[in-house]
Amino acid sequence: MSTFCDFEKINGTCVCSHCGTPAKSCAICDQCRRKCRSENDKLGDKLGDKTEKLLKTIGITPDLVKACKQRFGLAPTCNCNGRKEYLNRVSDWFAEQVKK
């Protein structure tokens, strides 16, 4: 079941009460059925996840990063999961800031 944005006026600005997306104007009838970003968050579609998908799409994988680092004499580690988790936390923090 899809969740749709539920716009309400907060501090003089119309924003979705689920995901914090601002409305283009307070005449929001045309945006009432917009699919809410909070639905995507449930699917794990946050900044870290999107970055991982983008990098994989262009061929940059954790194995490639490790191989490149090893070739240049660096420790063959990537900490990809740590960066992904950090970016997802940043995504969550930003979503909370938008809601305020």
| Burial environment of residue 16 by CB neighbours within 10 A (0 to 12, 13 to 18, 19 or more) | buried
Query: Does any domain span residue 66?
Result: yes
What pLDDT is recorded for position 43? Answer: 47
pTM: 0.52
Give the domain range for residue 31: 1-40
Query: Does any domain span residue 12?
Result: yes
SS3 28: coil
Number of domains in the chain: 2
DSSP letter for 36, please. Answer: P
The verdict on 48 and 36 lying in the same domain is: no
What pLDDT is recorded for position 25? Answer: 61
SS3 92: helix
Task: Give the CA angle between residues 7, 13, 16 to the nearest 5°.
Answer: 25
The verdict on 30 and 6 lying in the same domain is: yes
What pLDDT is recorded for position 82? Answer: 92
What pLDDT is recorded for position 1? Answer: 40
SS3 37: helix
Query: Does any domain span residue 100?
Result: no
The verdict on 49 and 91 lying in the same domain is: yes
- Please report the sign of the dihedral spanned by the C-alpha atoms of residue 87, residue 93, residue 97, residue 100: positive
Paired strand residues for 22:
15
pLDDT in tens, 13-66: 777 766 777 776 655 444 455 555 555 444 457 889 889 989 999 999 999 999
Query: Does any domain span residue 6?
Result: yes
